[in-house]
Structure 1
Amino acid sequence: MDLRFLLFVFVCAIRCNDANGLSAQFLQDYFADKFIHQIVVFACYNHLERVSLSRQLMLSDTKLSYISISENINMKTTLAVNYYKLGIVLDLDCTKSEIVLDKFQKERLPYNESYFWMVISKDSMPPIEILRKLPLTVETEFTLALHHDEIYVLYDVYNPSYRHGGRLNVTYMGVWNPLDGLSIKLTQYKYKRRADFQGLHLNFSIALSNPPLPDLMTYISNPINRHLDTMHRFNYALLLQLRDYYNYTMILTQSETWGYLINGSFNGLLGDMIKGLVDVGVTPLQFKRERIDVAEFTVQTYLARPSFFLRHPKKTSVRNGFLKPFREEVWWIVVAVGFIYWLILWLTSKLELYYRNRMPFSKINLEVGFETGFICMAAISQQGLTDSPRLYSGRIVFLSLFVWALLLYQFYSASIVGSLLAEPPRYINDLKDLLESNLEIGIDDIAYNYDFFATTSDPVALELYKRKVAPNKYRKKPAFYNHTEGLRKVKKGGFAFHADVNTAYKIITLFPAKHVATVTSKHSPFKKMVTYGMRQIMEHGLSERLMHVWQYRRPICPKTHSSTPVPVALGEFLPATLLLLMGLIIAVAVLSVENFCKRCKYPEQLSCNTYVIPGFKNQADINMYIQGHS
């Protein structure tokens, strides 16, 4: 009797080891195909079965955790994902198997791509009633294996969206047997074979900057006034393509804002996503650090190019326009050469006075220093004179001075005229150059720009806002304008307006281009679905076609624009006016001083209306001077 019992136990142990060896080989092949090396097993095996299964799987370098099913299982701790993928094996024939599914659902763990489920059963048909209650999604990795003898028949199980009332889908995947191993028939990419949502209703939301007239659907569907809300309407057209690709129904609502963090919580579109009211955003959002925790970014569908539009001014500096033709060292050389000519003229005038018996025969000889200095100034400024030297040496110096001054004046005047005809150099190349210019600044009055200046850490942008946008004693309110008013100011000149190119091009860069993407709610099962669909749309050229529909091209500058005369601004002519005014003031001052000195020195002659020529001691000197000039 004892011998028979021992034989029975031995046979059962062999069968059990064979069964566990078979299960281990199947699990090893399946999870190796999925590149998964960490598995958690929920089953009702005895100690010998657990040891046998663990030993077989660990030989293939697979980490295995065996969890006995009980009411006290902490699923979040047990299924903590230290890797991107974790395999979960559930023996559905175990009497307590539903506890695992209930616990997984109650602890709000998602059926996403972090968990690859392998549910094993010996039933002949899939347990539809159990599977229908599971909150599966389009991204679920859930495989059902029906075990018959040594064969495992595999089924792919998913639901487009249990939360939205989707239908359970159980599709034959393949088979496994000890001889042929694993044979998978579903070779299409997951989101391509699951593309039919069968009209499932999904929630979308759009945030607009302008009122949708005459109604929301007409406004976003028709390319009329396409410079308004271009980015949102273009992305809506892309999502219509995605709708046709996946066969879902869009339930569209309008949000007040894109979604900004205010007092620790998000408003607008992102706030609705957090509340579970919105699945996918029609309005693409910019990548921002605080948004990563509440939204999933998919594909960059639109390149927003907010830029500064301006009529490039002529460069202003401390040097006025009348000093620009020559560099500083050239001006110093001109002064030095003029001083040398003055010394030579002064010397020849002294020699002339000496060889004429010290008698002043010309006006130059009366006040040699002043007169020769005025001759040099007159030559450089192309003015005429009433007298000239008498000696040949003085005349040669005089002639060479005027020839030199003539050439200098020709270069100077040609440079002035050329600078007025030539296109001004482009010196505003980035935000810092714009900050240092004398241009006024205006910003497009949209929510994004307010948020940008409130959250940016760029020191140049902050300084730009402080100096040229924020209210001050000269500016009573922030320099935010609608696009029409802002571009009208640009047209007048002296003003730079920041707006998106598609808005401005209809009416007519210095911030970096902003990359925006279609977003879904955080941990959304539709993230990869939207990503794959958008990639297909963009790679097939559909987005490029929509670009031509919704975006304005850059205006072409007419060829005649460069030949249009540009009037000289008052600021460029002002130095000449100031110089003239200074000359008048100095002349009047000198005249007053001379008049005062004459009255003090010759009061008798002035009262008798007698004119005294300085430098002549008597009438004989005057007669000799007259004979010398006759």
Structure 2
Amino acid sequence: MGQFQRREIDIGENALFMRVDRVQNVDFVGETRRIRACIMFRQPPLSAVTNIFALTFESHVWMSILIFMFITSGIILVIYFYTGEKVQMHIFDCVMFVLCALCQQGFYVNILSKSGRVLVFTTFLSSVFLFTSFSANIVALLQTPSEAINSLASLTDSQLDIGLSDTVYNRIYFNETTDPVLIELYQRKLLPQGNKAYMLPFIGMERVRTQLYAFQVEEQAGYQIISDTFNEPEKCGLMELEPFQLPMASIPVIKGFSYRELFRQRLRWQREVGLMSREANRWFPQKPKCENKVAGFVSIGLSESRYPFQMFLAGAAVSIILLLLEKMWSKLYTTCASKRSKQNIISSK
């Protein structure tokens, strides 16, 4: 543009963005192609955004399991009272029996009656099918990407870090934008990083492949890196969001250029007959297709297993509280019993 301003050149070999601040210095004779700069990312796994242990069954199945627990507990309690079982059982033992069956564990009480053993057999047999279905769904959900991020607003609120390709227009357009959603994205995700937010495309796309990361890059550059480095399952969870539309690229010529109309006609003719589309399909990488959604080995980390750990910690906390209450109750009961025995001794004297 400086050479055009100094009138050192008449025509530019490279296409430039058609910006308003350039129109006063050059004329644009014809559009060549539109450059798309998308934010590319892989959808986070479903286990990272929700409790997959609650998604294995629908709500009516969970309700049926709860009803199954109540009915089985009631039946075994009835069998205990009407068959004269010699073992001591409580209502909580009946509930524990159903839980042990659902978790494919044994039961600490040996039921002696034939009717009780038939109930034990049918309960454990029924729980096998539930346990198998639950385990199979867990394996499927661990390999399923979520659909939590589908807009710039949801990307801003997500746990994904964001980087930008180190190009001039990224530094300009993010500062010039008036879109409130894009401004919030820039202030929350990019501005705190400073210059570290800008990096080379192959570095950013490698982070997209290996981390929970989103990277803004030109479409063709990103597609080339994806084709070269991503395996088939990694291609299937890719998503794109376009933060802003870049202006059309066009051939610039100096003001008053005598061959302007000739160049404009020839460029328009090349577009109409399909020469530009043919060359674009020939030289620019196309979007990679997801051809194999079956993932290989899936590693399970703390993020996927956080809910069982939370349940364990909650159970441990409740057991400690109950222990303290039992100790307090035992001490209070012992003190009250001691006082009553002393009063009885005094009254007898």
TM over 0.5: yes
Tell me, yes or no, if structure 1 residue 417 matches structure 2 residue 139.
yes
Distance of aligned partners of 1:549 and 1:412 in 2 relative to their CA distance in 1, 3 Å threshold? closer
Give the match for residue 281 of structure 1.
12
- 2:49 and 2:125 mapped to 1: Cα distance? 31
Is the CA contact 2:46–2:141 (under 8 Å) kept in the aligned structure 1? no
Give 1:435's aligned amino acid: T
Instruction: Give, in angstroms, the shift of residue 542 of structure 1.
Output: 5.7
Instruction: Give, in angstroms, the shift of residue 388 of structure 1.
Output: 4.6
- 2:40 and 2:30 mapped to 1: Cα distance? 29
Give 1:533's aligned amino acid: R
Instruction: Give, in angstroms, the shift of residue 454 of structure 1.
Output: 1.8
Which residue of 507, 510, 517 corresponds with 2:250?
517
Instruction: Give, in angstroms, the shift of residue 510 of structure 1.
Output: 1.9
Give 1:412's aligned amino acid: F
Which residue of 213, 216, 221 corresponds with 1:498?
216
Is the CA contact 2:16–2:252 (under 8 Å) kept in the aligned structure 1? yes
Distance of aligned partners of 1:460 and 1:294 in 2 relative to their CA distance in 1, 3 Å threshold? farther
- 1:476 and 1:535 mapped to 2: Cα distance? 42
Tell me, yes or no, if structure 1 residue 450 matches structure 2 residue 183.
no
Give the match for residue 311 of structure 1.
42
Instruction: Give, in angstroms, the shift of residue 480 of structure 1.
Output: 1.8
Is the CA contact 2:12–2:252 (under 8 Å) kept in the aligned structure 1? yes
Give the match for residue 198 of structure 2.
480
Instruction: Give, in angstroms, the shift of residue 446 of structure 1.
Output: 1.0
Which structure has more strand as a fraction of its residues? 1
Instruction: Give, in angstroms, the shift of residue 447 of structure 1.
Output: 1.0
Instruction: Give, in angstroms, the shift of residue 495 of structure 1.
Output: 0.8
Give the match for residue 361 of structure 1.
86
Give 2:211's aligned amino acid: G
Give 1:490's aligned amino acid: V
- 1:375 and 1:538 mapped to 2: Cα distance? 75
| Aligned counterparts, 1:351-430, within 5 A | 351-352=81-82, 356=84, 361-364=86-89, 368-390=90-112, 394-420=116-142, 422-424=143-145, 428-430=149-151
- 1:363 and 1:564 mapped to 2: Cα distance? 50
Structure 2 SS opposite 1:387: coil
Give the match for residue 235 of structure 2.
none
Tell me, yes or no, if structure 1 residue 576 matches structure 2 residue 308.
yes
Instruction: Give, in angstroms, the shift of residue 470 of structure 1.
Output: 1.6
Q: Which runs of 5+ in 1 are unaligned?
A: 1-268, 604-630
| Aligned counterparts, 1:9-20, within 5 A | none
Which residue of 179, 184, 196 corresponds with 1:463?
184
Give the match for residue 529 of structure 1.
262
Instruction: Give, in angstroms, the shift of residue 598 of structure 1.
Output: 5.5
- 1:343 and 1:476 mapped to 2: Cα distance? 65
Distance of aligned partners of 1:556 and 1:407 in 2 relative to their CA distance in 1, 3 Å threshold? closer
Is the CA contact 2:46–2:52 (under 8 Å) kept in the aligned structure 1? no
Is the CA contact 2:47–2:304 (under 8 Å) kept in the aligned structure 1? no
Give 2:73's aligned amino acid: W
Instruction: Give, in angstroms, the shift of residue 585 of structure 1.
Output: 3.9
Give 2:267's aligned amino acid: M
- 1:505 and 1:410 mapped to 2: Cα distance? 40
Distance of aligned partners of 1:601 and 1:393 in 2 relative to their CA distance in 1, 3 Å threshold? farther
RMSD over equivalenced CA pairs, Å: 3.6
Give 1:448's aligned amino acid: Y
Structure 2 SS opposite 1:424: coil
Instruction: Give, in angstroms, the shift of residue 492 of structure 1.
Output: 1.9
- 1:339 and 1:476 mapped to 2: Cα distance? 59
**Cα offsets for 1:406-439 (capped at 9, x unmatched):** 322121111112333x553555455445334322
- 1:447 and 1:527 mapped to 2: Cα distance? 28
Give 1:484's aligned amino acid: F
Instruction: Give, in angstroms, the shift of residue 299 of structure 1.
Output: 1.9
Structure 2 SS opposite 1:441: strand
**Cα offsets for 1:103-143 (capped at 9, x unmatched):** xxxxxxxxxxxxxxxxxxxxxxxxxxxxxxxxxxxxxxxxx
- 1:543 and 1:406 mapped to 2: Cα distance? 62
Give the match for residue 144 of structure 1.
none
Is the CA contact 1:520–1:526 (under 8 Å) kept in the aligned structure 2? no
| Aligned counterparts, 1:63-462, within 5 A | 269=1, 272-274=3-5, 276-292=7-23, 295-315=26-46, 319-349=50-80, 351-352=81-82, 356=84, 361-364=86-89, 368-390=90-112, 394-420=116-142, 422-424=143-145, 428-462=149-183
Give 2:203's aligned amino acid: E
Q: Identity of paired residues, percent?
A: 25
Is the CA contact 1:505–1:554 (under 8 Å) kept in the aligned structure 2? yes
Structure 2 SS opposite 1:412: helix
Which residue of 273, 285, 296 corresponds with 1:564?
296
1 or 2 for the larger relative contact order (CA 8 Å, sep ≥6)? 2
Instruction: Give, in angstroms, the shift of residue 380 of structure 1.
Output: 2.4
Distance of aligned partners of 1:500 and 1:567 in 2 relative to their CA distance in 1, 3 Å threshold? same
Instruction: Give, in angstroms, the shift of residue 361 of structure 1.
Output: 2.4
Which structure has more helix as a fraction of its residues? 2
Instruction: Give, in angstroms, the shift of residue 547 of structure 1.
Output: 4.2
Larger Rg: 1
- 1:438 and 1:401 mapped to 2: Cα distance? 43
Instruction: Give, in angstroms, the shift of residue 571 of structure 1.
Output: 0.7
Instruction: Give, in angstroms, the shift of residue 309 of structure 1.
Output: 3.0
Is the CA contact 2:163–2:204 (under 8 Å) kept in the aligned structure 1? yes
Distance of aligned partners of 1:506 and 1:415 in 2 relative to their CA distance in 1, 3 Å threshold? closer
Instruction: Give, in angstroms, the shift of residue 304 of structure 1.
Output: 1.4
Q: Which runs of 5+ in 2 are unaligned?
A: 230-239, 336-349
**Cα offsets for 1:500-538 (capped at 9, x unmatched):** 133334444321664322233456544323211323455
